Chains A and B, each alone.
Chain A
Amino acid sequence: MNDMRPMDNVVTDKTKITARDVHVHYGTTHAIKGVDVDIADRTVTAFIGPSGCGKSTFLRCLNRMNDTIPGAVVTGKIRIDEADIYDPCVDPVQLRAKVGMVFQKPNPFPKSIYDNVAYGPKIHGLARNKAELDDIVEKALRRGAIWDEVKDRLHAPGTGLSGGQQQRLCIARAVATEPEILLMDEPCSALDPIATAQVEELIDELRRNFSVVIVTHSMQQAARVSQRTAFFHLGHLVEYGETGKIFTNPEDSRTESYISGRIG
């Protein structure tokens, strides 16, 4: 596995998600105004921008979590592997098994650590018996870099863990269903710097198996974990490109102002 390491900063060219002319309205609010973006496979893509710029909204379009918000209307085309996810034939439940999500605040179910991770595989019928389920749970917890901390107390409540552990548990829960894409909505904003470092390290690991899209407030975080960065401002995708280029040589003056701290 360690020989995979040299792929750091290598960006595959295969496109996983294609968005074309995406608009989102919440009632009378026009939250996303025509976003076009191609998100590459096995890459960490960061969405940055000031509060209320629509980056979380756009992220939630990618697994249709906006469907649950009353009054939200999404137009435009979003394709994952050439399949339009807003096609009437697509069941959002099936989509969300393919596109996992980690939320801003750690939100483990008030159940045991084991049940938290096993829930997704159970409802998707990924395990035929208890032994298989045990394997899936262990694998997911290992991928979530939390196995060593919880292996002796799998049946303790997930809510009893520390904030950072809870968030890694939530990541383990999300990867347990074997998604292809992992969406992360400010996964470190409720964590302290040490827990944040652990989660960031984990995100880098996850890149080997998933394409990761992360929304973050912290430009340093985007610079540390991502290969590509998209800058959102007032519902527009202002600039999208290689992370190194966005932070050192942005094309748009708004991007430059934001990363240098003049707006936002």
Chain B
Amino acid sequence: MTDISNDTPARHGALLVTDARTKRRNRAETRFKAYGITALAIGMAFLAALLWAILSNGLTAFGQTYVQLDVPLLEEKLDKDGDRDPEKIAKVSTFGYKPLIEAALTDLVAREGIETDLDGKALTKILSESAAAKIRDRVLANPELIGRTVGFDLLASSRVDGYLKGRVSRESLARDKNLDAAHLDLVDTLSDVGVVEKRFNWAFITGADASDSRPEQAGIGVAMLGSFFMMMVVLALSLPIGVAASIYLEEFAPQNRLTDIIEVNISNLAAVPSIVFGILGLAVFIQFMHLPQSAPLVGGLVLTLMTLPTIIISTRAALKAVPPSIRDAALGVGASKMQAVTHHVLPLAMPGILTGTILGLAQALGETAPLLLIGMVGYIATNYPDGVAEGFLSPNSAMPAQIYEWAKRADPAFYERAWGGIIVLLVFLLAMNLIAVLLRRRFERRW
């Protein structure tokens, strides 16, 4: 017989003393935690830096300097015959309005008693080149104004705007032929008396792109509409196609080599660079099918191709997450496969499907590369033409493409607008993600 002692022999060290092996393990754990925290901190720092950069550079785009000017709309300049014939008034080009603006500015300077060496022509440099066109549009719309002195809110030039935002200084103007230090003195005085003031820039949110020489007039509104039309196309096509394809693959398709190949290819498509979809869209939709260039319809079709894999993958994941027992239960009481899917599986998968769709849309909204290839960088300097249905086929731009366009241009005022455009884009993306979260909360059910 083996001898049996009364006590279990001590096989390990005393509990109150940590042995070397345990110490080593604990140290490794502490180290790993430190790595994790460092990684997280770096990520947060980058995020903070990014947000700071975007906000500090872009927020100024949402303010714009305006000059309040009383312009005498002299009858002898605008309508010599005095019969208010719209055709004759339209013959007066914007050049015909420039003397009026000069006169108004000279008058303003004299009225406020400001000492300045600048003559009338030099004075107009504080105004945007769009000023004359704006006055002309107003006169054409309402010829009765001719002969009166009318108050206008006119855009200040981008240099003046930049001065009030701190981007332009007297030193930087030394190399700039567009504006002199004398103008800045004038602007200082005028802003003291409230003639020159900075306001919230609705025109940036609603307006259209502008030419290189008048960045103060450029807005992202038209590009926003272009993006909106594209998203409509993407949603209308990719949601039904994506969900139908996923339901078929997940619930009905037999498991064979063909469906395996399809599955692998869908996953691969999700990883294809977006510019490849762009060139595919160019070849198929524009060169082969002769759809118009720069049209939101084509942009939407290309982005649909790009979004479909994302939607299919997330929808299939959502369908897979529905417990098979629910399908069994439905089939067990005599539901057909289609009834089991539409009555039970689909409602349960809905939060996942919607989240995937919205994230896919958000991805499509920010996509730039394919749009460049199909020409969705149209320079649309006029506000959107009437007729929303037309919007799918008429040339347009999109928000990210517009941002890219502005970032390319030389004038720092456009650079500021590019950052501002990024803020608008990010607000949209945040809103979409928020909707995704809310929908998920709203539809989520437990079983």
Binding site for B on A (CB under 8 A): 63, 65, 68, 70-71, 93-94, 96-97, 100-103, 105, 107-110, 119-120, 123-124, 159, 170, 173-174, 176-177
Contact = CB atoms under 8 A, between A and B. Distances in A.
Given A65-B331, A96-B331, A119-B343, A159 B325 contact: no
Contact of B325 (A70, A97, A107, A120): A107
Contacts of B446: 110, 159
27 contacts: A65-B328, A65-B332, A68-B327, A68-B328, A70-B255, A96-B331, A96-B333, A96-B334, A97-B334, A100-B333, A103-B328, A107-B323, A107-B325, A107-B326, A107-B328, A107-B329, A108-B329, A110-B326, A110-B447, A119-B333, A120-B333, A120-B334, A123-B333, A123-B334, A170-B329, A174-B332, A177-B333
A43 to B, nearest CB: 21
B331 A68 contact: yes
B329 A93 contact: no
Interface in B313-339: 323, 325-337, 339
B254 to A, nearest CB: 6
Nearest to A176: B333
A101 B332 contact: yes
Interface residues of B, number: 23
B98 interface: no
A72 to B, nearest CB: 12
Given A159-B447, A177-B333, 6 more contacts: A65-B328, A68-B337, A96-B333, A105-B325, A107-B328, A119-B343
B101 interface: no
Contacts of B445: 110
A71 B331 CA distance: 18
B332 A100 contact: yes
Contacts of A93: 334-336
Contacts of A100: 332-333
B348 interface: yes
A1 B446 CA distance: 40
A2 to B, nearest CB: 30
Contacts of A176: 333
A107 B326 CA distance: 6
Interface in B249-294: 254-255
A159 B329 CA distance: 13
Contacts of B440: none
A124 B348 CA distance: 22
Contacts of A177: 333-334
B344 A109 contact: yes
Nearest to A119: B333
A96 B339 CA distance: 14
A110 B447 CA distance: 6
Contacts of B337: 68
A-B complex: 6 closest residue pairs judged by Cβ atoms:
A97-B334, A120-B333, A107-B325, A101-B332, A96-B334, A107-B329
Contacts of B333: 96-97, 100, 119-120, 123, 173-174, 176-177
A167 to B, nearest CB: 12
Contacts of A103: 325, 328-329, 332
Nearest to A103: B328
A143 to B, nearest CB: 15
B27 to A, nearest CB: 45
B178 to A, nearest CB: 68
A128 B350 CA distance: 30
Nearest to A96: B334
B15 to A, nearest CB: 39
Nearest to B256: A70
Contacts of A96: 331-334
Nearest to B347: A110
A107 B447 CA distance: 9
A19 B331 CA distance: 22
Contacts of B335: 93, 119-120, 123
Contacts of B343: 119, 123
A173 B331 CA distance: 12
B260 to A, nearest CB: 12
Nearest to A67: B331
A70 B254 contact: yes
A109 B334 contact: no
Contacts of A65: 328, 331-332
A236 B255 CA distance: 29
A63 B333 CA distance: 10
B348 to A, nearest CB: 7
Contacts of B447: 110, 159
B347 to A, nearest CB: 9
B341 to A, nearest CB: 12
A159 B344 CA distance: 14
A110 B446 CA distance: 7
A252 to B, nearest CB: 33
Interface in B24-62: none
B328 A109 contact: no
Contact of A124 (B327, B329, B334): B334
Contacts of A110: 326, 348, 445-447
